Structure 1
Amino acid sequence: MRLHDERVAGDGLITIGGLARDCGLTPSALRFYDDCGLLVPVRVDAVTGYRYYSKAQVDRGVMIRRLRGIGMPLEVVSEILNGDGARAQRLLDEHVAELAQRAREAAAVARVIKAEIGAGVVLSAAVLAAAIEQVRAAAARDREIPVLAGVLMESNADSVTLTATDRYRLSTRAMVPVRPSGGAWSVVVDAGELGVIGSWLRGSAEVSVRATDAGLVFTGDGSERRCGIIDAVFPDYRAMLAGLGAVRTRVVVRRDVLLTALDEGAAAPVVCSVDGSGLFVTCDRQLGHDSPSHTDPLSGRRRIPAAVTGPDIELAFSPKTLRPALVSAIGPEIMLDITATDTPVVVRSATDGELTTLVMPTAITDSKEYGA
């Protein structure tokens, strides 16, 4: 069958486009192989620079394509095309053996990577145990809304984050993994079950955590623990944090001193008044003489030394909400970021931003019922 005119020169030679179609190569590849000396045109037009090939070169072009398709280096392709049959077969056998060895090595690496991915994210057991205790205190005690009795655990390439909220308080802490996992995941687990895991973690150095359909799996020191998943959507706490207004008043105070002003288990709201001279707390408990704070005998207000920036403000808190937030806070000094009397107060360490807790104030009028 006669070739089409655009593929054949006047003397029966094939144009570069025609050879490209017959060999399954591109014209640019043929020009490259010309430059390499692997497939040199029979003739190159001196005026136009067009390359022309003989029909006999089609087989050579196909052979080049097939050899390059199995990853054969150019210099070895040249030896196979230009050498004797026995040497060509030996070179092919050596190349296939090398490919097989590389495939075995790649498979071994893949197995290691898959094992690491399957092992989950690796964390310091001590850090995770502390984070669990700090955050799960903010989970709801009742199960009226099941998801609020859980802790959201999220893992990505950079961090692992624990978050809990009972609607009146929210705690969230991010941790940097010892070794991150290969994929991101997010699950809600029962706060009580997670507390048991926290106690077990204290006997380990490192722990890997992976999410499965059945729950979270914790592995450390040759043993394993599991924690069931609460199948519900956790509140969008990031939107809650992003929606907080600008900080108007900031208080930096010693955590232990503030804790001494709060009755453990008391029901009456605690009124906190802030002005330029410090923090004043009004509650039922009388402080001991060894406390750095001072009680006004007439008003019953206790002055607690604090660094205050911003306008004066007065808020009230339920001790059952405020005290656990202070107990779980990180560091000797805490920072209270206050926006308004009816928006959450942000409680965090004055020097370490890993743990953030939101505490919702109660209405000031509620405290009057207790004679404050």
Structure 2
Amino acid sequence: MDERELMPIGAFAELAGLTASALRFYDDAGVLVPERVDPLTGYRFYHRSQLALATHLRLLREIRMPLRTIGRLFADSTAEAARLIDEQAAAAAAEAAGIQRAAATLKASLGQASRTTLCALPGPVFAAAVDQVLATTIDDPAYPVLAGVRLEARHDAVSLTATDRFRLTTRTLVPGGPSTASWAGTLAGDDLRAAASRLRRSPTVTLEAGERTLSLRTSDHAAADCRLLTGEFPDHRLMVAAMPPVTHRVTAETRQIRAALAQAPERIGLRLVDGTPSLLLPGAVLPLDATATGPDLTVWFELTTLYPAVSCALGADLMLDLRGADQPTTIRSADDGDLTTVVMPCRPSPT
């Protein structure tokens, strides 16, 4: 060992970007042990070759990697170490995002003494509706409002709507009693997603509208505040009204279509011949136990577009309103309210 490459703890700490007290802590923890300790004075000396390890240690602590994991990471293979770093980075990012959401919600709730109670809904039903529409949101920096869910409360119903410009989903719920006021706002999807687990464990959820948030108050009187997004939500009613008229209608069992999609590849076709519908899979044609109206037609869908609409469907039956091979298809289902999703078809699957 070249004694000239040894340096005292203060000099080493400065080069490594750490404090001397941190180095003592890491020595005691066994993750960065000095090259030599003077037996008389107890002074620690580090070798220049340890700088790389010290730098890695500093960066790992910056992403809040636990010491017990750091010890494993230094001993593991490169692939395993990379996996541990990815896991910790994801956890740190999720924690930071949670802090940002909490801070934004706190700021939005400042000075909101006045609130309007809209209605009460069954907690599990409302949480399921949130899950169903959130599948249609999208994180688009150019259109941040598309990460939100439009909630509209009317006298006899509450509707939740989301769109990613390729799909449009609307879930309508029937409140336990009439809504006391008409109200509309776009809720931050992240806030709804964070609140969903709490909502599904509450028998009822009361909706209370403020100036900048919508509070979801559970049966234990706790409230989850969802921020209101300020961007203009797309006029979904205008989008629906502008669609061509329905030319074909298929009514089928939800269970049968779900089972087919579970084994489908990237695309799946819906074929109508002589009023008989079937699904087109690679090398197979699956007849549907369904009814259909309209002339012969074949429509293709991306699995990633069609599956979420079918998997979230309500009740035992699905109704598909078709408008042509290149026009939007409306998928409807109903059970204690209704769920409507508009999906775009794709080009035919290559043969």
Same fold (TM over 0.5): yes
Cα–Cα, structure 1 residues 264 and 235, in superposed 2: closer, same or farther, change >3 Å?
Answer: farther
| Equivalent residue pairs, number | 238
Query: Which residue of 1 is the match for residue 238 of structure 2?
Result: 239
Q: Among all aligned residue pairs of Structure 1 and Structure 2, give the percentage whose two residues are the same amino acid.
A: 35
CA distance in 1, matches of 2:263, 2:134: 19
Which of 317, 321, 342 aligns to 1:358? It is 342
Query: Which residue of 2 is the match for residue 204 of structure 1?
Result: 202
CA distance in 1, matches of 2:254, 2:328: 19
Does structure 1 conserve the Cα–Cα contact (< 8 Å) formed by 2:269 and 2:301?
yes
- Give, in angstroms, the shift of residue 129 of structure 1: 1.6
Query: Which residue of 1 is the match for residue 31 of structure 2?
Result: none
Does structure 2 conserve the Cα–Cα contact (< 8 Å) formed by 1:264 and 1:319?
no
CA distance in 2, matches of 1:347, 1:242: 16
- Give, in angstroms, the shift of residue 354 of structure 1: 1.6
- Give, in angstroms, the shift of residue 223 of structure 1: 0.9
Which of 290, 300, 317 aligns to 1:333? It is 317
- Give, in angstroms, the shift of residue 347 of structure 1: 0.6
**Whose Rg is larger?**
1
CA distance in 2, matches of 1:144, 1:199: 29
- Give, in angstroms, the shift of residue 120 of structure 1: 3.1
1:115-170 alpha-carbon deviations (Å, 9 max, x no partner): 99733322222221221122221112554421111110111222211001111111
- Give, in angstroms, the shift of residue 216 of structure 1: 1.2
Which of 109, 118, 121 aligns to 2:119? It is 121
1:264-283 alpha-carbon deviations (Å, 9 max, x no partner): 794x2222211235322223
CA distance in 1, matches of 2:145, 2:342: 18
Give secondary structure in 1 for the equivalent of 2:136: coil
Any stretches of 5+ residues in structure 2 without a counterpart? 1-112
CA distance in 2, matches of 1:141, 1:317: 22
Residue 137 (1) aligns with residue 135 (2): yes
Cα–Cα, structure 1 residues 164 and 350, in superposed 2: closer, same or farther, change >3 Å?
Answer: closer
Q: Which amino acid aligns with 2:306?
A: L
Query: Which residue of 2 is the match for residue 177 of structure 1?
Result: 175
Query: Which residue of 2 is the match for residue 300 of structure 1?
Result: 284
Query: Which residue of 2 is the match for residue 311 of structure 1?
Result: 295
Residue 276 (1) aligns with residue 279 (2): no
* Superposition map of 1:1-372 within 5 A: 118-221=116-219, 222-263=221-262, 266=265, 268-276=266-274, 278-284=276-282, 299-349=283-333, 354-364=338-348, 367-368=349-350, 371=351
Any stretches of 5+ residues in structure 1 without a counterpart? 1-114, 285-298
CA distance in 2, matches of 1:193, 1:264: 34
Structural RMSD (CA): 2.4
Cα–Cα, structure 1 residues 168 and 190, in superposed 2: closer, same or farther, change >3 Å?
Answer: same
CA distance in 2, matches of 1:151, 1:185: 14
Give secondary structure in 1 for the equivalent of 2:209: strand
CA distance in 2, matches of 1:117, 1:132: 22
1:324-362 alpha-carbon deviations (Å, 9 max, x no partner): 000011111101111122221111127776211111111
Give secondary structure in 2 for the equivalent of 1:330: coil
Q: Which amino acid aligns with 1:257?
A: Q
Does structure 2 conserve the Cα–Cα contact (< 8 Å) formed by 1:253 and 1:307?
yes
Query: Which residue of 1 is the match for residue 41 of structure 2?
Result: none
CA distance in 2, matches of 1:186, 1:316: 35
- Give, in angstroms, the shift of residue 301 of structure 1: 2.4
CA distance in 2, matches of 1:333, 1:178: 25
CA distance in 1, matches of 2:213, 2:263: 35
Cα–Cα, structure 1 residues 264 and 119, in superposed 2: closer, same or farther, change >3 Å?
Answer: farther
Cα–Cα, structure 1 residues 134 and 347, in superposed 2: closer, same or farther, change >3 Å?
Answer: same
Does structure 1 conserve the Cα–Cα contact (< 8 Å) formed by 2:214 and 2:225?
yes
Cα–Cα, structure 1 residues 264 and 223, in superposed 2: closer, same or farther, change >3 Å?
Answer: farther
Give secondary structure in 1 for the equivalent of 2:250: strand
Cα–Cα, structure 1 residues 132 and 338, in superposed 2: closer, same or farther, change >3 Å?
Answer: same
Does structure 2 conserve the Cα–Cα contact (< 8 Å) formed by 1:123 and 1:207?
yes
The TM-score normalised by the length of structure 1 is 0.59
The TM-score normalised by the length of structure 2 is 0.62
CA distance in 2, matches of 1:120, 1:351: 23
Q: Which amino acid aligns with 2:233?
A: F
Does structure 1 conserve the Cα–Cα contact (< 8 Å) formed by 2:124 and 2:200?
yes
Cα–Cα, structure 1 residues 353 and 240, in superposed 2: closer, same or farther, change >3 Å?
Answer: farther
